[in-house]
Amino acid sequence: MEMEDYPRTMGQQFGRRSWAEPWKIKMVEPLRIISRAEREAALKAAGYNTFLLRSEDVYIDLLTDSGTNAMSDRQWAALMMGDEAYAGSRSFYRLEAAVQQAYGYRHVIPTHQGRGAEHLISRIAIQPGQYVPGNMYFTTTRLHQELAGGTFVDVIIDEAHDPLSQYPFKGNVDLDKLQTLINQVGAKQIAYISLAGTVNMAGGQPVSMANVRAVRELCDRYGIRIFLDATRLVENAFFIKEREPGYDTRTIAEIVREFCSYTDGAWMSAKKDSLVNIGGWLALNDDQLADEARNLVVVYEGLHTYGGMAGRDMEALAVGIEESLQEDYIRARIGQVRYLGELLLDWNIPIVEPIGGHAIFLDARRFYPHLPQDLFPAQTLAAELYLDSGVRAMERGIASAGRDPKTGQNHYPKLELTRLTIPRRVYTQAHMDVVAEAVKAVYDQRERARGLRMVYEPRYLRFFQARFEPIEG
Ligand SMILES: Cc1ncc(COP(=O)(O)O)c(C=O)c1O
Ligand SMILES: N[C@@H](Cc1ccc(O)cc1)C(=O)O
């Protein structure tokens, strides 16, 4: 299929007719915008790190799509049905069935959120000294792999590191890179393939079904397992349906099931695709590995029938899984992200293309070509955007990439991005217009930006708590 075949806007896809969200608003939460002088004070107090702002001081919050989703009336009703038994909660069995049905794995171990599950899978499936190839790093995923003694190796295709590449499946694994690693270290030294769909750090880019099938075939030749980060797999399935030959008549639910069938298990941050505010799980097909995970979960998360979630959380999650697979929901979800991205493209503002699933990623290298990466261009852009409009974004560049644990040297990622992440079912098209105009205003003053210097650097996941000061001049 040629790239020209893809509809650039949802509007084009449906001719001249507009689309709208498949829900109406039943409850509202007031927003507040503080003055420019107050924003300057708030940003300074936060060390120019948007993670350290108080949400009260934020107008439109595009920090993350994690746990920031609006639940449906059915989910709120489900909360009342939570069974808060310590052991054997009815709500767990309901969740277990929902995960088995939607994702197709045999064993389900609940966790408080995604990184709880990342911790478990890393502890049980990595031997110290082993390698973990994956389609681009994710911060928490890689850290847990490293803490378990593993070394992450990036085997994503080169296109993923190029914000301008229009390749439709920029999340794909490069089979040659994977084969080279196998040849170099030997299959026994590979713990598993860490596969994510979509790929968060690449711009929410999808993996094709053909690619996961090919990875499966390669791994079968060597007896290597594949574990999937299923956090945004529903969004990935939307892109497969839209772009991959043969999938346009398949349902999102069928695509999700087929994708998972090529993998041996998955971990999940349910705070994204599954439309809840907290929760996660680890799912495995192997009985012995599942026993180990079920044993370890009681050490770190809670009993194996709640894993850190309340019974009500598990009820809401079970409903959220079903809702996430509805076609009209996912079309509107991705459609809203595209709406914002296309406004920015119309103004020639540099973003990662094609537009991905959960966010618009501003390309800070092209936005601020005069700022070297050591002056934190993406962090600077997030700070400037907040100052201009009270819109909160997130750095996804050199600060997020952290340091090599062996050499202590900074990683210098090719992608230096500022992420405008869209919570699900929360903001309207008018909010997207305001955000686009705010980005435009910052773009119009781009020569004035001077960059930041890091003055406090925590040891783990530094971007969450690091503090910065502006470069004067
Ligand atoms: C792709 C991906 N994997 C894993 C995680 C970890 O999940 P959590 O934030 O729920 O711990 C996140 C978000 O943090 C994510 O975006
Ligand atoms: N996974 C969430 C929360 C998070 C943010 C940044 C991180 O590096 C880690 C976790 C997100 O992508 O928004």
Does residue 8 surpass a pLDDT of 60?
Answer: no
Nearest to 317 by CA among 73, 95, 88, 74: 95
259 is catalytic: no
CATH number of 3-61+327-468: 3.90.1150.10
Q: Give the mean model confidence (pLDDT) for residues 300-323.
A: 98
Q: In this predicted structure, what is the pLDDT of residue 335?
A: 96
406 is catalytic: no
Q: In this predicted structure, what is the pLDDT of residue 3?
A: 42
Q: Whose CA is nearest to atom 10 of ligand 1?
A: 114
Band (pLDDT 50/70/90 cuts) for residue 14 is low
- Catalytic one of 105, 138, 192, 368: 138
How far away, in angstroms, is 334 Cα from ligand 1 center?
A: 19
Ligand 2 mutation pick, 51, 63, 64, max ligand atoms within 8 A of CB: 64
CB within 6 Å of ligand 2 — which residues? 64, 66, 139-140, 200, 269, 400, 421
Q: In this predicted structure, what is the pLDDT of residue 17?
A: 76
In one-letter notation, the amino acid at residue 447 is: E
396 is catalytic: yes
Domain ranges of the chain: 3-61+327-468, 73-324
229 is catalytic: yes
Separation between Cα atoms, residue 162 and residue 64, nearest integer Å: 23
Instruction: Report whether residue 196 contacts ligand 1, using a CB cutoff of 6 Å.
Output: yes
Instruction: Report whether residue 113 contacts ligand 1, using a CB cutoff of 6 Å.
Output: yes
CATH number of 73-324: 3.40.640.10
Tokens of 56: 């009260």
Band (pLDDT 50/70/90 cuts) for residue 473 is confident
Q: Give the mean model confidence (pLDDT) for residues 144-172.
A: 98
SS3 418: strand
In one-letter notation, the amino acid at residue 254 is: E
Separation between Cα atoms, residue 316 and residue 243, nearest integer Å: 31
Long-range contacts of the stretch 327-332 (C-beta < 8 A, 24+): 327/251, 327/252, 328/22, 329/22, 330/234, 330/235, 330/237, 330/238, 330/252, 331/10, 331/19, 331/238, 332/19, 332/20, 332/21, 332/22
Nearest to 170 by CA among 201, 128, 214: 201
Q: pLDDT tens digits for 73-84?
A: 999 999 999 999
Q: Whose CA is nearest to atom 3 of ligand 2?
A: 66
Q: In this predicted structure, what is the pLDDT of residue 127?
A: 98
- Give me the interface pTM, i.e. the ipTM: 0.98
Tokens of 39: 């924003």
Does residue 1 surpass a pLDDT of 70?
Answer: no
Does residue 211 surpass a pLDDT of 70?
Answer: yes
Q: C-alpha 45: how far from its chain's center?
A: 28
Q: In this predicted structure, what is the pLDDT of residue 18?
A: 79
Q: In this predicted structure, what is the pLDDT of residue 238?
A: 98
Quick one: what percent of the chain has pLDDT higher than 90?
A: 95
Q: Give the mean model confidence (pLDDT) for residues 279-294.
A: 98
Lowest mean pLDDT among 5-14, 277-286, 337-346, 370-379: 5-14
Instruction: Report whether residue 229 contacts ligand 1, using a CB cutoff of 6 Å.
Output: yes
Nearest to 276 by CA among 432, 95, 140, 104: 95
Round the average pLDDT of the chain to a whole number and report it: 96
Does residue 4 surpass a pLDDT of 80?
Answer: no
Nearest ligand for residue 200 CA:
1
Ligand 2 mutation pick, 66, 267, 360, 420, max ligand atoms within 8 A of CB: 66
Query: Helices (H) and strands (E) in the chain — how many of each?
Result: 17, 14
Q: Give the mean model confidence (pLDDT) for residues 452-456.
A: 98
Q: In this predicted structure, what is the pLDDT of residue 19?
A: 80
Does residue 11 surpass a pLDDT of 60?
Answer: no
Q: pLDDT tens digits for 343-386?
A: 999 999 999 999 999 999 999 999 999 999 999 999 999 999 99
Band (pLDDT 50/70/90 cuts) for residue 451 is very high
Percent of the chain as helix, strand, coil, to the nearest 5 = 45, 15, 40
Q: Whose CA is nearest to atom 8 of ligand 2?
A: 139
